[in-house]
Amino acid sequence: MDVYEAIYSRRDVRHFRTDPVPDDVLQRILNAAHHAGSVGFMQPWNFLVIRSAATKQRIFDLYKEANRQAAEDYQGEQRALYDSLKLSGILEANINLAVTCDSQRETGGGLGRKSMPETAVYSTCCAIENLWLAARAEGIGVGWVSIVDPDTAKQILGIPKSLTLVAYLCIGVPISFDKKPMLERAGWQARVPLEELVYYEAWGHRSTSPEKV
Amino acid sequence: MDVYEAIYSRRDVRHFRTDPVPDDVLQRILNAAHHAGSVGFMQPWNFLVIRSAATKQRIFDLYKEANRQAAEDYQGEQRALYDSLKLSGILEANINLAVTCDSQRETGGGLGRKSMPETAVYSTCCAIENLWLAARAEGIGVGWVSIVDPDTAKQILGIPKSLTLVAYLCIGVPISFDKKPMLERAGWQARVPLEELVYYEAWGHRSTSPEKV
């Protein structure tokens, strides 16, 4: 699949069939993740592949509690809309994947991290986007669950305290890849026009004419 | 370009020709970035496009100072190797691009950020990887400069204090796309075998056989 097609048709998937993700597909999308750039070629990531229904259930219980708390921030129509949204496919997705970052890993010899040590985590996010796009090309859906308490999730998964749980992903055969993001279709949030987010030469300056800066 | 080809041939480019990046190409890669997923469809990013030689020079001076300090962490052969590495193409690249994250932005209504507010920054990193891959497909090189003091860089660029400078990118026509990452070719760091980084069902467990967990 063309890279632009993958970028524009990638979705945060929450509706999965329970069909298995073939092992060769899983290995290809993990390898795509592993070929993201990383600061100083640090490769600070690990991937924990979860197929166990019991583990998924424990994480789902965590999600339910976090989602119950999050819902309380909304009132009226917004609350009704929030409650109608399906925000995870933890139990249905064939694979759950925890992606972690070890910011103390010695790989890369610290190169590039003295001024901005946070780039270790940033590299891990780039790996996740690679995985997401590769999965799209494979016809596999990925959903990112951020509605869990990360410290409790780490305990459940046995992830060492010093590591960062960057993402908890649901990976599986999607019911569909929708044309638009679910939150856009549901009327939760529209896409912001790109031109409102791009500045030229100086912060807040939207013209491309340098003489006006 | 096929998404896997873009993923495997993407490089952190530090050697640029000074040729201009056409505006339509720039808009396409920014639009690719803007189509990354974001927590709650928050779209927390901004893109500051810099072509001004004077601004590039100020950031380059900052890089030189940070790099001088970073070099002091290495001794002997490693120091000699470090000093031989070209770690930025700030002055030569046609475009410098500051990518920021506004973690307080109200877009998305806070959805998905109560338990893990750091996902705003993570979303911005996903946007950067989209841009990087789209640029690769366009034949355009991207290099990520992390060797600058981010607070001083924000001052130079006029970025509000409450925002995070996630990445300072150099974007331009590359001298070449090398077969391997520069740090691998230079003997700084080898690629870690993927299988060392993947666990199954339980942390540290490398077998895919669930009965052994």
From the list B45, B115, B184, the residue facing A197 with the nearest CB is B45
DSSP for chain B reads -BHHHHHHH--B---B--PPPPHHHHHHHHHHHHTS--GGG---EEEEEE--HHHHHHHHHHHHHHHHHHHTT--HHHHHHHHH-----TTTSSEEEEEEE-TT--GGGGTT-SS-TTHHHHHHHHHHHHHHHHHHHTT-EEEEE--S-HHHHHHHHT--TTSEEEEEEEEE-BS---SS-HHHHTTS-PPPPGGGTEEESSTT-----GGG-
Per-residue pLDDT tens digits for A152-185: 999 999 999 999 999 999 999 999 999 999 999 9
Per-residue pLDDT tens digits for A184-211: 999 999 999 999 999 999 999 997 755 5
CATH 3.40.109.10 residue ranges of chain B are 3-179
Write down the pLDDT at residue B207.
78
Q: Does A128 touch chain B (CB under 8 A)?
A: yes
Q: Does B65 touch chain A (CB under 8 A)?
A: no
Per-residue pLDDT tens digits for B133-153: 999 999 999 999 999 999 999
**What is the C-alpha separation between B61 and B53, in angstroms, rounded?**
12
- What angle (nearest 5°) sits at the alpha carbon of residue A82, between those of residues A73 and B162? 50
Contact A158 B8 (CB under 8 A): no
Write down the pLDDT at residue A213.
44
List the end-to-end C-alpha distance of chain B, in Å, as a whole number: 41
Q: Does A18 touch chain B (CB under 8 A)?
A: no
- Kindly state the tokens that stand for A61: 């219980």
Q: Which residue of B has its CA nearest to A155?
A: B203
Contact B189 A10 (CB under 8 A): no
Q: Does A24 touch chain B (CB under 8 A)?
A: no
Contact B158 A39 (CB under 8 A): no
Q: Which residue of A has its CA nearest to B56?
A: A201
Write down the pLDDT at residue B212.
46
Per-residue pLDDT tens digits for A14-53: 999 999 999 999 999 999 999 999 999 999 999 999 999 9
Q: Are the C-beta atoms of residues B24 and B146 closer than 8 Å to each other?
A: no
pLDDT at B200 over 70: yes
**What is the C-alpha separation between B120 and B127, in angstroms, rounded?**
11
- Run of H or E including A61: helix A53-71
Q: Does B43 touch chain A (CB under 8 A)?
A: yes
Could you tell me which of A178, A165, A157 has the C-alpha nearest to residue A12? A178
Q: Nearest-CA distance from B90 to chain A in Å?
A: 15
Write down the pLDDT at residue B124.
98
What's the mean pLDDT in A105-123? Answer: 97
- Kindly state the tokens that stand for A44: 């600070």
C-alpha to C-alpha distances, A113 to A15, A60, A87, A124, B164, nearest whole angstrom: 38, 35, 34, 14, 16
More reliable by pLDDT, B212 or B194 = B194
What's the mean pLDDT in B183-207? Answer: 96
Residue numbers in A near B45 (CB within 8 A): 197
Contact B8 A34 (CB under 8 A): no
Q: In chain B, what is the greatest distance between 2 CA atoms, to the nearest angstrom? A: 62
Residue numbers in A near B34 (CB within 8 A): 194, 197
Q: Nearest-CA distance from A174 to chain B in Å?
A: 17
Q: Please identify which residue in the block is written with the tokens 């009965």.
A: B211
Q: Does B80 touch chain A (CB under 8 A)?
A: no
Q: Is the CATH number of domain A3-179 3.40.109.10?
A: yes
Contact A201 B51 (CB under 8 A): yes
Q: In chain A, what is the greatest distance between 2 CA atoms, to the nearest angstrom? A: 62
User: Count of residues for chain A?
Assistant: 213
- What angle (nearest 5°) sits at the alpha carbon of residue A93, between those of residues A90 and A98? 60
Contact B3 A8 (CB under 8 A): no
**What is the C-alpha separation between A175 and A18, in angstroms, rounded?**
10
Per-residue pLDDT tens digits for B91-126: 999 999 999 999 999 999 999 999 999 999 999 999
Write down the pLDDT at residue B209.
57
Which of B10, B58, B83, B146 to mutate against chain A (most A CBs within 10 Å)? B146
Q: Nearest-CA distance from A131 to chain B in Å?
A: 10
Residue numbers in B near A150 (CB within 8 A): 115-116
Residue numbers in A near B51 (CB within 8 A): 200-201, 210
Q: Where are the beta strands (DSSP E) in chain A?
A: 45-50, 95-101, 141-145, 164-172, 198-200
Return the DSSP state at A19: P
What's the mean pLDDT in B173-193? Answer: 97
Q: Are the C-beta atoms of residues A49 and A158 closer than 8 Å to each other?
A: no
Contact B148 A115 (CB under 8 A): yes
Q: Are the C-beta atoms of residues A67 and A148 closer than 8 Å to each other?
A: no
**What is the C-alpha separation between A56 and B201, in angstroms, rounded?**
10
What's the mean pLDDT in B44-60? Answer: 98
Write down the pLDDT at residue B66.
97
Contact A4 B32 (CB under 8 A): yes
Distance of CA B63 to the CA centre of its chain: 15
Kindly state the percentage of chain B with pLDDT values over 70.
98
Average pLDDT over all residues of chain A: 96
CA dihedral B133, B137, B141, B146 (to 10 degrees): 0
pLDDT at A212 over 70: no
Which of A61, A115, A119, A161 to mutate against chain B (most B CBs within 10 Å)? A115
Q: Which residue of B has its CA nearest to A47?
A: B198
Q: Could you tell me which residues come within 8 angstroms of residue B118 by beta carbon, excluding any fewer than 6 positions away? A: none
Q: How confident is the model at residue B213 (pLDDT cuts 50, 70, 90)?
A: very low
